[in-house]
Amino acid sequence: MRPVSNLLRSYRLHTNNANRFEHVKDHLINDFVPSCLDLNSEHQAVPIYGNANKYLIRFPVGRLSTNIHEIIVGDLSVALDTALSRAKTEVKPVFYSNRQTTINEKPAMVDMQVEFFPEKNGDSAYFSVVLSDSEFKSSSRKTSAVYDYSEETQQRIRDLENELLHKPEHLQVANEELETTNEELQAANEELMSSNEELQGTNEELQSVNEELYTVNCEHQEKIEELMTVNDDMDNVIRP
């Protein structure tokens, strides 16, 4: 069996190599991968890769938020919101190109790629968002569509209207669940009140028994005193 010191040395070496590899991996990602973000199902940015910070605004003073709609450059927010909705609905990548915006107080054209990954094998659903300047070229780049603000805004409005149509159904289900929960809580409360009343009755009975025991104890004490008095009298009679 290998000595413990050798095992510890091997573990430290493996850990150091793993940490060194993570550093190399991060360096390669930042240098060769386009700016991209991973979002959870609530559109919260989890990891950020590459130079994605250039497309994000500075965090405002006060409440800190990682919601992509609150931290992305304002001109890209509507396009990204539409792309996220389409990617989730159509379950296929959505590409937009030549989206006009302002970065570092300079006009810029941005390309956007959004893909939705549904929940699978226990893993949570998430989105991937890739942002790049329009002049960024790639041999594997897929065909993209120029973002039409008017058309996509109308599409986004239709999507929101469709969501609103389904809201009453969700609210009705939630309301029924709340009513069921309220009934269960009401029944539990009634049981607790009944148990409390029973406990109160038991407490009164115990109080009554305690008073009876106190009375019996007093009577017993009096009998002892009487017996002691009789005993003293007997001693006086018997004593010559």
Q: Residue 38's CB: how many other CB atoms inside 10 A?
A: 15
- Range 79-94 average pLDDT: 88
Residue 64 lies in a domain: yes
**pLDDT exceeds cutoff 80 at 240:** no
Higher per-residue pLDDT: 138 or 76: 76
Q: In this structure, what token pair is assigned to residue 149?
A: 């603000």
**Which pTM does this prediction carry?**
0.50
Inside any domain, residue 226: no
Asked if the structure places residue 220 within a domain, the reply is no
The verdict on residue 116 lying in a domain is: yes
- Does residue 139 carry a pLDDT above 60? no
pLDDT value of residue 127:
93
Domain range enclosing 89: 33-147
Q: Could you tell me which residue, 86 or 12, shows the higher pLDDT?
A: 86
Query: How confident is residue 149, by pLDDT bands cut at 50, 70 and 90?
Result: low
CATH code assigned at 130: 3.30.450.20
What's the pLDDT band for 117 if we cut at 50, 70, 90? very high
Task: Classify residue 221: in a domain, yes or no.
Answer: no
Out of 41-50, 57-66, 94-103, 189-198, which region has the weakest mean confidence (pLDDT)?
A: 57-66
CA dist list (Å): 59 to 35, 44, 75, 128: 18, 14, 16, 21
Question: Residue 130 and residue 35: Cα distance in Å, rounded?
Answer: 6
pLDDT at res. 51: 79
pLDDT category at 129 given cuts 50, 70, 90 is: very high
Using 50, 70 and 90 to split pLDDT, how confident is the model at 15? low
- Encode pLDDT of 29-55 as tens digits: 666 677 888 898 888 888 787 777 888
- 58: in domain: yes
Write the pLDDT tens digit of every residue in 166-197: 677 777 888 888 888 899 999 999 999 999 99
pLDDT at 99 over 90: no
Q: How many domains does the chain have?
A: 1
Average pLDDT for 86-108? 87
Asked, for residue 170, whether it belongs to a domain, the answer is no
Buried b (16+ CB within 10 A) or exposed e, 3-29: eeeeeeeeeeeeeeeeeeeeeeeeeee
Q: Which residues pair with 109 in a beta bridge?
A: 100
For residue 17, pLDDT beyond 70:
no
pLDDT at 114: 92
Residue 56 to residue 94: CA distance in whole angstroms: 20
Does the residue 122 lie in any domain?
A: yes
**What's the rounded Cα separation, in Å, for the pair 182 and 35?**
49
